Amino acid sequence: MAKLYFKYGAMKSGKTTDIIKTYYNYQEKGLKIIIIKPSDDLKAGKNILCRSGASLCCDYVVPKEENIYNLIEKHLIDSQIDCILVDEAQFLTSKQVDELSDIVDNENIPVICYGLRADAFSCLFPGSTRLFEIADVIEELKAVCKCGNKATFNLRLKRVDGELVPVFSGEQVSIDGKDAEYDSVCRTCYKKIKKEKGIYKL
């Protein structure tokens, strides 16, 4: 039986590295794997970029209105799929996560979603919420805070006169898009940084 997986973690928890590794593991065995990404991810267009410089190209970039189940049904007419990887799954709609679960249940294709648990203000994303509700397997990818604790918070930063300043309000998806910077920190440090209101050093 195929399963719906959710591998979540804060920024810099190695999600992209894990996607790239999983992709090549399947490919080396001659299996057909496709990559999907929601179009809300403003970072890299069709590419998935890893901090080490490695990159992969997505097969489908899906807007919120797209029915992913129909998209995959169409794909299956011409070619087989052994596994589906979803990058930045936090940006999926709740309905799209349900569509992914239909692919798992009706087509017996495993779907592995990667994403953030919560946004820069520690609120769940819609895609992540639904994945926590219905995924078969939930796995945390761990990031480390500067203090050595596990990092679970995403600190949003903006550049002001060349210095990084933490941001504690705004849209869930930063309008700055590719210009916004983030660091992953533990909850204790997040609160401390919020109180201090100082300049942040990466």
**Which residues bind to Zn ion, rule: CB under 5 A?**
145, 147, 149, 186, 189
Residue nearer to Zn ion on the CB measure, 148 or 162: 148
Cα 25 from Cα 20, distance rounded (Å): 9
Contacts of residue 197, Cβ cutoff 8 Å, sequence gap at least 6: 166
HEC per residue, 120-145: CCCCECHHHHHHHHHCCEEEECCEEC
Q: What angle do CA 61, 182, 202 make, to 5 degrees?
A: 145
Q: Which residues are catalytic?
A: 88
130, 117 Cβ separation under 8 angstroms: no
Q: Least distance (Å) from Zn ion to the CB of residue 135?
A: 28
Q: Both tokens of residue 162?
A: 């060349």
Q: Least distance (Å) from Zn ion to the CB of residue 12?
A: 13
Residue nearer to Zn ion on the CB measure, 47 or 188: 188
Q: Least distance (Å) from Zn ion to the CB of residue 5?
A: 28
Residue nearer to Zn ion on the CB measure, 70 or 149: 149
